[in-house]
Amino acid sequence: MDVILKEDVLNLGFENDIVSVKNGYARNYLFPKRLAILATESNRKVLSETIKQRSRKLEHLKSDAEAIVSKLNNITVKVKVKSSEEGTVYGSVTNIHIADALKDQFNIEIDRRKINIGNKHIKELGQYKITVPLQKEVCAEFTVDVVAE
C-alpha cells in the first residue's frame, strides 16, 4: 500500500514522502496516529502542489540543518552516569540524556526523537557513534562518550 507521510517517521521516511508499507502497518499504526494518508491520485496532486509551494522554505530549512551538521561533526559529547566497577551503567543512557548533554555542553537543541541510538539503550561505559537525520539528505554524526561520575 502506498501512503503519503504527514510527519517524519524514523526508519521509514520524511514528511511528504510517498512510501510503500504493509497494509496492517498503515491501517493499525500510521493512519490512527495521523502520521500518513492514503496515496490516492487526488492526494498525490495535492502533495505535488504543496511541494511546489514549499520549495523555497525547504531550501532555507536545509541550509539551517547543514549549519547544525557543521557544528555536530567531529564533536564528542560526554555523558556522566553512575556505574559499577565493571563498567556497567546503572539504568541506561537514552536519547533524552544525549539531547540534554548536547544542550548543556554545546548549546545545540535537537529533538530527542530524531537522535538515533543503534540498539536503543547504552548500558556500558565507552564511546558510541550517534546519528541524527535532520533533513532528507542531511545527516549528522557525532560521538558520545559515556563516563563514570
Name residue, grid cell 540543518. Answer: 65
- Are residues 52 and 107 both part of a single domain? no
- Are residues 84 and 143 both part of a single domain? yes
- Are residues 61 and 76 both part of a single domain? no
Q: What confidence score (pLDDT) does residue 45 get? A: 95
- Are residues 123 and 52 both part of a single domain? no
Q: What confidence score (pLDDT) does residue 121 get? A: 77
* Contact in structure between 82 and 90 (CB atoms under 8 Å): yes
Name the domain boundary from 65, 82, 97: 65
State how far the Cα of 136 lies from the Cα of 10, in Å rounded to an integer: 12
- Are residues 61 and 10 both part of a single domain? yes
Count of structural domains, the chain:
2
Name the domain boundary from 11, 44, 65: 65
Domain span including residue 41: 2-65
State how far the Cα of 127 lies from the Cα of 124, in Å rounded to an integer: 9
Domain holding 46: CATH number? Answer: 3.40.5.10
- Are residues 82 and 142 both part of a single domain? yes
- Are residues 91 and 21 both part of a single domain? no
| Sign of the Cα pseudo-torsion (60, 66, 71, 77, in order) | positive
Name the domain boundary from 41, 65, 89: 65
Q: What confidence score (pLDDT) does residue 47 get? A: 92
Q: What confidence score (pLDDT) does residue 27 get? A: 96
What are φ and ψ of residue 75, in 5° steps? -110, 160
Q: What confidence score (pLDDT) does residue 82 get? A: 92
Q: Can you spell out the DSSP letters for the chain?
A: -EEEESS-BTTTB-TT-EEE--HHHIIIIITTTTSEEE--HHHHHHHHHHHHHHHHHHHHHHHHHHHHHHHHTT-EEEEEE-B-TTSEEEEEE-HHHHHHHHHHHH-----GGG-B-TTS-EEESEEEEEEEE-SSS-EEEEEEEEEE-
Q: What confidence score (pLDDT) does residue 126 get? A: 92
Q: What confidence score (pLDDT) does residue 20 get? A: 96
Q: What confidence score (pLDDT) does residue 62 get? A: 87
pTM equals 0.65
- Are residues 60 and 79 both part of a single domain? no
Q: What confidence score (pLDDT) does residue 127 get? A: 92
Give the residues of the chain that fall short of pLDDT 70.
120
Q: What confidence score (pLDDT) does residue 2 get? A: 95
State how far the Cα of 104 lies from the Cα of 98, in Å rounded to an integer: 10
- Are residues 61 and 73 both part of a single domain? no
- Are residues 115 and 89 both part of a single domain? yes
- Are residues 98 and 132 both part of a single domain? yes
Question: What type of residue sits at position 145?
Answer: D
